[in-house]
Structure 1
Amino acid sequence: MAVPPPVPPAASAAPSAARRRRVEPLYYWFLLPTLVLFTGLVLVPAVVGVFYSFTDYVGFGSWKFTGLTNYVALFSDPSIWDSYKFTLGFALVTVVLAQAVALGLALGLTSRIRFLTTLRSIFVIPMVVSGIVVAYVFNYLFSNSLPSLASSVGFGPLEESILGNPDLAWIAIVIVSAWQTIPGALLIYIAGLLSIPGELYEAASIDGASAWRRFRSITLPLVSGYLVINTILGVKGYLNAYDIIVGLTDGGPGTATYSVAKTIFLGYTGGDYAYQMANATVFFVLTVAVSLLQLLATRGRGLRLS
């Protein structure tokens, strides 16, 4: 009986998957400048800063190791705790406000309305303006225009600038920070909404679903991944808030609006280099932890992490 010829093993498994998809050396040369710049301008300074956080270095001159002294002092410093409480509270309130407004605007700017392209262009203008410029403009509005308008209509609570009120100054920072960052989130939401097949809405309408039901059962689940991205980017940006605070209140009244970033920067220029490097290290770990918690909390909810 004739023996059938052996079947070739699929051309040797496509030459071992094209030899594991060999990468052209040229690509590494394109990657090299970025790696060099990142290492020299980010990684090395960060490692040096962490090293000095275990010393008494003031930014120049000699130094000596002090171990965990700076870190122990951080956790017993009321001003450091106040800056963390303000920063975390400000970031939480601002990210909720910004995401709600951005998603609402995105829903409007993806509907069938007139002048759609013009409106989209107008709403993204704030993201191209420098934060410090935006802050100074709003500083004038909160300090002059708004009190004058409130006085003319007899609205007492706003006749004085809220920037001078320790209990209200944070509200101005929230408003201005959200105003500047909403356009970036808006563009991401628009991209997400435009990726949803229109047939889903048509089928839901035929079944008698209301606008709220369509939003809750179709829109929100399908843009949840974009919501996660915007939230993570927003929290990261708000935790590092600096220019808006400098232009609006400069940390005042008193120290009511001192963010962690402003506290660290003032320490650099005030002779507390090592102490504030310890603060910066703790803040970096906290920021990474918050981002990881956000990713873990949203795993499997519209965002692939692999």
Structure 2
Amino acid sequence: MMFTKQKENRILLLYVLPALMTYLIFKLYPAISGIYYSLTDWNGLSKTYQFIGFLNFQEIITDREFWASIQFTLKYVVVFVVISNVLALFLAVLIESVSRARAFFRTAYLMPNMISMIIGGYMWVFVFTRVTFYLADNWGMAFLDKSWIGNPHYSFIAIIIVSTWGSVGYLMIIYIAAIQGVPVQLKEAATLDGANSWQVFKNITFPMIQHAITICTFWALNAAFQVFDVIYSLTGGGPGRATQAVALNIYEEAFKGNVKYGFATAKSTVLFLIVFLITIIQLRVMKRKELEL
């Protein structure tokens, strides 16, 4: 049965309509309305509010806590994006190199991604406050005897560990799919020419999975800028505000203490602009690298 191009497009649109409507209602509309509310003094509850222009954005300029949270978030983004992608790629290559139990390892590493990170964070609180001290006292692992939650330095490491644990499985699956798409004939030809495993990976596999690296970097970048649940459940932004990410700062501004919803949405708009700018730069750099390869 043949369809005209116009009818085929209508059928395709019908299939994507539920997802499109969900995106428009729960993503796009709140984002646009949030930009509007950032120009008001709305407290999130009152039916009345006033349009105040860019006063919220002027207040942001002098908000030291917000810029401190931006600084912490940028630090977290760099460390998380690098570690999660390197570890995910390493696991993908390792799993694809074994001949048995591939399904088991894929499932084992993907399982943390299926758990809510709020739950995962509270699970790791138990690990960092109970298990580590038990291992240090009874198994001689003195290097674990640290204040993983109370010390700003170690709490950052704890956040990175939990975040990586929760996301590396998802990135690993993307890398596995990309590796499986590399033609086997090229690898075999390189092996016959005397190339070892590292040379095959460096000169054939790695250049041919650049599209997966772009996707995984983009995903990790956006997830890192929006990090909330891990920090909220693990440290609550503490000790003090040492591990307060920008999303947690916005949350507290909007829903805790002296509620200033308009001010919080102004901060959200600033965060959106920062993420948008960095994402555009990242995509252009990665795409240019793909073309060069």
**TM value normalised by structure 1:** 0.87
Query: For the residues of structure 1 that align with 2:182 and 2:260, how far apart are their CA atoms?
Result: 52
C-alpha distance after superposition, 1:199-234 (max 9, x if no partner) = 212211222222222111111101111011001001
| Structure 1 position 148, deviation (Å) | 2.2
- Asked whether 1:48 is paired with 2:36, we answer no
| Structure 1 position 246, deviation (Å) | 1.2
RMSD, aligned α-carbons: 2.1
| Structure 1 position 34, deviation (Å) | 4.0
**Bigger share in helix:** 2
Greater Cα shift, 106-115 or 234-243: 106-115
Greater Cα shift, 240-249 or 38-47: 38-47
| Structure 1 position 44, deviation (Å) | 2.5
C-alpha distance after superposition, 1:251-286 (max 9, x if no partner) = 111111111111111111131211111000111111
Q: Report the residue type matching 1:113 in the other structure.
A: S
- Asked whether 1:124 is paired with 2:82, we answer no
| Structure 1 position 154, deviation (Å) | 5.1
Contact 2:129/2:148 (8 A) holds in 1: yes
Query: For the residues of structure 2 that align with 1:119 and 1:209, how far apart are their CA atoms?
Result: 27
Query: For the residues of structure 2 that align with 1:36 and 1:220, how far apart are their CA atoms?
Result: 38
Query: For the residues of structure 2 that align with 1:184 and 1:42, how far apart are their CA atoms?
Result: 23
Q: Secondary structure at the match of 1:302?
A: helix
| Structure 1 position 161, deviation (Å) | 2.6
| 2:289 alignment counterpart | 301
| 2:255 alignment counterpart | 269
| Structure 1 position 156, deviation (Å) | 4.9
| Structure 1 position 63, deviation (Å) | 2.1
Q: 1:206 to 1:31 in 2, by over 3 A?
A: closer
Contact 2:69/2:245 (8 A) holds in 1: yes
Contact 2:147/2:154 (8 A) holds in 1: no
| 2:269 alignment counterpart | 281
Query: For the residues of structure 2 that align with 1:131 and 1:140, how far apart are their CA atoms?
Result: 14
Q: 1:53 to 1:95 in 2, by over 3 A?
A: same
- Asked whether 1:259 is paired with 2:242, we answer no
Q: Report the residue type matching 1:75 in the other structure.
A: I
Query: For the residues of structure 2 that align with 1:262 and 1:205, how far apart are their CA atoms?
Result: 51
| Structure 1 position 122, deviation (Å) | 1.5
Q: Secondary structure at the match of 1:60?
A: coil
Q: Report the residue type matching 2:273 in the other structure.
A: V
Q: Which runs of 5+ in 2 are unaligned?
A: none
- Asked whether 1:110 is paired with 2:96, we answer yes
| 2:166 alignment counterpart | 180
Query: For the residues of structure 2 that align with 1:128 and 1:33, how far apart are their CA atoms?
Result: 24
Contact 2:214/2:287 (8 A) holds in 1: no
- Asked whether 1:238 is paired with 2:224, we answer yes
| 2:54 alignment counterpart | 68
- Asked whether 1:202 is paired with 2:188, we answer yes
Q: Report the residue type matching 1:59 in the other structure.
A: G
| 2:71 alignment counterpart | 85
Query: For the residues of structure 1 that align with 2:268 and 2:99, how far apart are their CA atoms?
Result: 47
Q: Secondary structure at the match of 1:164?
A: coil
Query: For the residues of structure 2 that align with 1:166 and 1:276, how far apart are their CA atoms?
Result: 25
Q: Report the residue type matching 1:49 in the other structure.
A: G
Of the two, which has the highest radius of gyration? 1
**TM value normalised by structure 2:** 0.90
Query: For the residues of structure 1 that align with 2:149 and 2:138, how far apart are their CA atoms?
Result: 19
| 2:85 alignment counterpart | 99
Query: For the residues of structure 1 that align with 2:206 and 2:264, how far apart are their CA atoms?
Result: 42
Contact 1:94/1:178 (8 A) holds in 2: yes
Query: For the residues of structure 2 that align with 1:254 and 1:301, how far apart are their CA atoms?
Result: 41
| Structure 1 position 28, deviation (Å) | 4.1
Q: 1:251 to 1:109 in 2, by over 3 A?
A: same
| Structure 1 position 32, deviation (Å) | 4.3
Q: Secondary structure at the match of 2:287?
A: coil
| Structure 1 position 121, deviation (Å) | 1.9
Q: Secondary structure at the match of 2:152?
A: coil
Aligned residue among 119, 123, 126 for 1:140? 126
Q: How does 1:145-184 map to 2 (within 5 A)?
A: 145-153=131-139, 156=142, 158-184=144-170
Greater Cα shift, 137-146 or 282-291: 282-291
| Structure 1 position 150, deviation (Å) | 1.9
Q: Secondary structure at the match of 1:23?
A: helix
Query: For the residues of structure 2 that align with 1:134 and 1:79, how far apart are their CA atoms?
Result: 27
Q: Report the residue type matching 1:57 in the other structure.
A: W
* Identity percentage of aligned residues: 32
